[in-house]
Amino acid sequence: MRGQLITHSIVVGFGIVLIIAVFLIMGFVETNYREFIGQREIEDVCLFIKTSAEKIQPKTDYRSETPVVLGEITMNLPGKIAGMAYRASFRDRNLSISTIGDKKIEFSCVIGINATYGGSTNGDSTLLKMTRTKEGDFIEIKKL
Protein backbone atom coordinates (compact mmCIF):
# COMPACT_ATOMS: atom_id res chain seq x y z
CA MET A 1 0.00 0.00 0.00
CA ARG A 2 2.78 2.39 0.93
CA GLY A 3 4.64 1.59 -2.32
CA GLN A 4 1.57 2.46 -4.38
CA LEU A 5 1.22 5.82 -2.63
CA ILE A 6 4.85 6.70 -3.40
CA THR A 7 4.45 5.55 -7.01
CA HIS A 8 1.30 7.66 -7.47
CA SER A 9 3.01 10.68 -5.90
CA ILE A 10 5.94 10.33 -8.30
CA VAL A 11 3.60 9.99 -11.31
CA VAL A 12 1.57 13.05 -10.26
CA GLY A 13 4.75 15.07 -9.63
CA PHE A 14 6.17 14.04 -13.01
CA GLY A 15 2.86 14.98 -14.68
CA ILE A 16 2.97 18.45 -13.10
CA VAL A 17 6.57 18.95 -14.24
CA LEU A 18 5.58 17.95 -17.79
CA ILE A 19 2.66 20.39 -17.82
CA ILE A 20 4.92 23.23 -16.63
CA ALA A 21 7.51 22.31 -19.28
CA VAL A 22 4.85 22.37 -22.03
CA PHE A 23 3.66 25.85 -20.96
CA LEU A 24 7.22 27.20 -20.85
CA ILE A 25 8.05 25.78 -24.27
CA MET A 26 4.82 27.13 -25.78
CA GLY A 27 5.58 30.57 -24.39
CA PHE A 28 9.07 30.46 -25.88
CA VAL A 29 7.77 29.31 -29.28
CA GLU A 30 5.08 32.01 -29.28
CA THR A 31 7.64 34.74 -28.50
CA ASN A 32 9.98 33.60 -31.27
CA TYR A 33 7.11 33.23 -33.73
CA ARG A 34 5.80 36.70 -32.91
CA GLU A 35 9.25 38.26 -33.45
CA PHE A 36 9.79 36.43 -36.74
CA ILE A 37 6.34 37.12 -38.18
CA GLY A 38 6.32 40.69 -36.81
CA GLN A 39 9.60 41.54 -38.52
CA ARG A 40 8.34 40.18 -41.84
CA GLU A 41 5.00 42.00 -41.58
CA ILE A 42 6.70 45.31 -40.71
CA GLU A 43 9.00 44.95 -43.72
CA ASP A 44 5.97 44.25 -45.96
CA VAL A 45 4.09 47.31 -44.65
CA CYS A 46 7.16 49.49 -45.18
CA LEU A 47 7.61 48.23 -48.74
CA PHE A 48 3.90 48.75 -49.46
CA ILE A 49 4.01 52.39 -48.27
CA LYS A 50 7.27 53.03 -50.15
CA THR A 51 5.80 51.62 -53.38
CA SER A 52 2.66 53.71 -52.90
CA ALA A 53 4.76 56.87 -52.48
CA GLU A 54 6.65 56.08 -55.67
CA LYS A 55 3.35 55.68 -57.55
CA ILE A 56 2.14 59.17 -56.67
CA GLN A 57 5.50 60.80 -57.38
CA PRO A 58 5.12 63.05 -60.44
CA LYS A 59 7.45 62.99 -63.41
CA THR A 60 7.55 66.79 -63.77
CA ASP A 61 9.63 69.48 -62.05
CA TYR A 62 6.89 72.12 -62.30
CA ARG A 63 6.80 74.46 -59.27
CA SER A 64 3.61 76.22 -58.30
CA GLU A 65 3.19 79.43 -56.34
CA THR A 66 0.27 77.85 -54.49
CA PRO A 67 0.25 74.37 -52.98
CA VAL A 68 -0.91 71.74 -55.47
CA VAL A 69 -1.82 68.16 -54.57
CA LEU A 70 0.16 66.03 -57.01
CA GLY A 71 -1.33 62.75 -55.96
CA GLU A 72 -2.90 60.84 -53.16
CA ILE A 73 -3.59 57.23 -52.51
CA THR A 74 -5.72 55.48 -49.91
CA MET A 75 -4.15 52.32 -48.53
CA ASN A 76 -5.70 49.60 -46.42
CA LEU A 77 -2.92 48.71 -44.01
CA PRO A 78 -3.20 45.92 -41.45
CA GLY A 79 -4.71 46.98 -38.12
CA LYS A 80 -2.12 44.98 -36.18
CA ILE A 81 1.28 43.47 -36.81
CA ALA A 82 1.90 40.06 -35.20
CA GLY A 83 -1.17 40.66 -33.04
CA MET A 84 0.21 43.95 -31.68
CA ALA A 85 -0.78 47.55 -32.35
CA TYR A 86 1.82 49.59 -34.24
CA ARG A 87 2.68 53.10 -35.34
CA ALA A 88 4.18 54.16 -38.66
CA SER A 89 5.62 57.66 -38.94
CA PHE A 90 8.06 59.60 -41.08
CA ARG A 91 11.39 60.64 -39.58
CA ASP A 92 13.58 62.64 -41.94
CA ARG A 93 13.44 60.62 -45.18
CA ASN A 94 12.75 57.33 -43.43
CA LEU A 95 9.55 55.53 -42.59
CA SER A 96 9.81 54.19 -39.05
CA ILE A 97 7.44 51.44 -37.92
CA SER A 98 7.37 50.07 -34.38
CA THR A 99 4.97 47.88 -32.47
CA ILE A 100 3.31 49.03 -29.27
CA GLY A 101 3.21 46.57 -26.43
CA ASP A 102 5.27 44.26 -24.30
CA LYS A 103 7.44 43.03 -27.20
CA LYS A 104 8.81 45.89 -29.27
CA ILE A 105 9.67 45.28 -32.91
CA GLU A 106 11.11 48.19 -34.91
CA PHE A 107 12.05 48.72 -38.54
CA SER A 108 12.97 51.72 -40.71
CA CYS A 109 13.16 52.00 -44.46
CA VAL A 110 14.33 54.82 -46.70
CA ILE A 111 11.60 56.20 -48.96
CA GLY A 112 14.09 57.74 -51.39
CA ILE A 113 12.00 60.61 -52.73
CA ASN A 114 13.43 64.12 -52.48
CA ALA A 115 10.71 65.62 -50.28
CA THR A 116 9.79 66.70 -46.78
CA TYR A 117 7.82 64.10 -44.83
CA GLY A 118 5.26 64.30 -42.05
CA GLY A 119 2.43 62.52 -40.30
CA SER A 120 1.80 59.11 -38.85
CA THR A 121 -0.71 56.25 -38.84
CA ASN A 122 -1.51 53.18 -36.81
CA GLY A 123 -2.92 51.13 -39.65
CA ASP A 124 -6.28 50.43 -41.26
CA SER A 125 -7.45 53.00 -43.84
CA THR A 126 -4.57 55.43 -44.42
CA LEU A 127 -4.08 58.36 -46.79
CA LEU A 128 -0.72 59.08 -48.41
CA LYS A 129 -0.68 62.50 -50.08
CA MET A 130 1.99 64.39 -52.02
CA THR A 131 1.76 68.18 -52.22
CA ARG A 132 4.05 70.46 -54.24
CA THR A 133 4.81 74.01 -53.13
CA LYS A 134 7.39 76.52 -54.32
CA GLU A 135 9.67 75.29 -51.49
CA GLY A 136 9.47 71.67 -52.62
CA ASP A 137 7.44 68.51 -52.26
CA PHE A 138 5.72 67.38 -49.05
CA ILE A 139 4.58 63.81 -48.43
CA GLU A 140 2.07 63.27 -45.63
CA ILE A 141 0.68 60.08 -44.16
CA LYS A 142 -2.40 60.03 -41.94
CA LYS A 143 -5.07 57.66 -40.75
CA LEU A 144 -8.54 58.23 -42.16
Amino acid at 134: K
Helix%, strand%, coil% for the chain, nearest 5: 40, 40, 25
Q: How far apart are CA 50 and CA 66, in angstroms?
A: 26
pLDDT tens readout for residues 96-124: 999 987 788 899 999 888 888 999 999 89
Q: How far apart are CA 48 and CA 29, in angstroms?
A: 28
pTM over 0.75: yes
pLDDT tens readout for residues 10-20: 888 888 989 99
Q: How far apart are CA 93 and CA 105, in angstroms?
A: 20
Q: How many domains does the chain have?
A: 1
Range of the domain at 126: 2-143
End-to-end CA distance of the chain: 72
pLDDT tens readout for residues 57-91: 887 777 778 888 989 999 999 999 988 899 999 98
- Helix ranges (DSSP H) in the chain: 2-56
